[in-house]
Amino acid sequence: MCNQAPFSGLEDVMLGYIFGQRKVTEVAHAVWKKVVRKGDVVIDATCGNGFDTLAMLRLVADENSCRGHVYAMDVQKEALESTSFLLDRSVSAGERKLVELYAMCHTKMEELVHIGDVIRLVAFNLGYLPGGDKTLKTLPDTTLLALEAATRVVAPGGSLISVVCYLGHSGGREEFKTVESFAAGLPIDGWTCCKLQTVNRPLAPVLVLLYRK
Ligand SMILES: C[S@@+](CC[C@H](N)C(=O)[O-])C[C@H]1O[C@@H](n2cnc3c(N)ncnc32)[C@H](O)[C@@H]1O
């Protein structure tokens, strides 16, 4: 369930984005903050170097009651090691236990979800691992299957699928079009879908948000 207005915090980040001083990933994190609560269960579908996983953990971690959980996945061992390293040096042992890392394709995310899990957020940060092998990247066909899976796992009543698309690499624009057309096809009675795009920087990353009402 989305926190009610005023949407404090988000306004500053949005203005920063409009004025060219904040990145779209920062806007994504600020939006997550308005949807996710302590104790929630969330999925990082592309954990990469772990920055999104860490941001998600900070939103859900309720160490006192051991509630809150992050399922994070990546197809590359290198990415999982990088995420694990970042978490180990950034959070307490108690918080670290709330994250589970999986070497798997995000098309299979439903296999991780337990009965009773209320999934508040599924986040995708598409493309390749920064600093890694640029040929190992997300692909339109599997991204589409993973988005379909994400729509099945997120809880009704206020949850989010957040997708950052990169247009600068080969296949990136096609992948963005796949995401955009999937979002455009979701029924308006259950979903609000929007995108944030800098129109005079054609290669700038685009944030697509699918909000389940
Ligand atoms: C842009 S990076 C993610 C950045 C990351 N969220 C962070 O905060 O550092 C994209 C990641 O997606 C991963 N990836 C590619 N195909 C995937 C798939 N089918 N399932 C899960 N992860 C995949 C890549 O290995 C890469 O690490």
Residue 106 alpha carbon, nearest atom of ligand 1: 20
Cβ of 84 less than 6 Å from ligand 1: no
Q: How confident is the model at residue 6, as a pLDDT? A: 57
Domains of the chain with bracketed CATH: 38-212 (3.40.50.150)
Mean pLDDT in residue range 7-29: 93
pLDDT band (50, 70, 90) for residue 164: very high
Based on DSSP, count helices (H) and strands (E) in the chain, helices before strands. 7, 7
Query: For 73-113, how does the pLDDT look when each residue is reduced to its tens digit (9 = 90+)?
Result: 999 999 999 999 999 999 999 999 999 999 999 999 999 99
Q: How confident is the model at residue 33, as a pLDDT? A: 97
| Nearest residue by C-alpha to atom 3 in ligand 1 | 48
Q: How confident is the model at residue 8, as a pLDDT? A: 73
Cβ of 103 less than 6 Å from ligand 1: no
pLDDT of residue 201 exceeding 70: yes
- Specify the residue for token string 């259950």: 190
Distances (CA, A) of 77 to 47, 84, 136, 203: 11, 11, 12, 28
Query: For 136-160, how does the pLDDT look when each residue is reduced to its tens digit (9 = 90+)?
Result: 999 999 999 999 999 999 999 999 9
Could you tell me if 109 and 73 are in contact, meaning their C-beta atoms sit under 8 angstroms apart?
yes
Which is nearest to 55 in space by CA: 73, 32, 84? 32
Cβ of 74 less than 6 Å from ligand 1: yes
